[in-house]
């Protein structure tokens, strides 16, 4: 289950691998980033009016 309430900021360490989205998106475009546990969150893309990233879907590990 995705934790869609916790906001992660650029430069923080990724705790859970998965697909993250900008915490504020317009109706025309959703900004997403695929991030790997242990790496740092990237800067927010131009056009993202939010302050950070929220987990959309955690990666399945087999």
Q: What does the pLDDT look like over 6-61, one tens digit per residue?
A: 999 999 999 999 999 999 876 677 899 999 999 999 999 988 889 999 999 999 87
Domain that holds residue 9: 1-62
**Spatial separation of the C-alpha atoms in residues 55 and 20, rounded to whole Å:** 4
**Spatial separation of the C-alpha atoms in residues 44 and 53, rounded to whole Å:** 8
Can you give the pTM of this predicted structure?
0.84
pLDDT of residue 10: 97
How many domains does the structure of the chain reveal?
A: 1
Token pair recorded at residue 20 = 């993250």
17-30 burial, b at 16+ Cβ within 10 Å, e below that, comes to: bbebbbbeeeeeee
């Amino acid at each position: 289950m995705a934790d869609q309430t916790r906001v992660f900021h650029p430069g923080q360490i990724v705790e859970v691998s998965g697909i993250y989205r900008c915490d504020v998106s317009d109706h025309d475009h959703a900004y997403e980033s695929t991030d790997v546990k242990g790496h740092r969150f990237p800067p927010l893309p131009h056009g993202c009016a939010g302050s950070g990233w929220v987990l959309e879907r955690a990666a399945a590990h087999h």
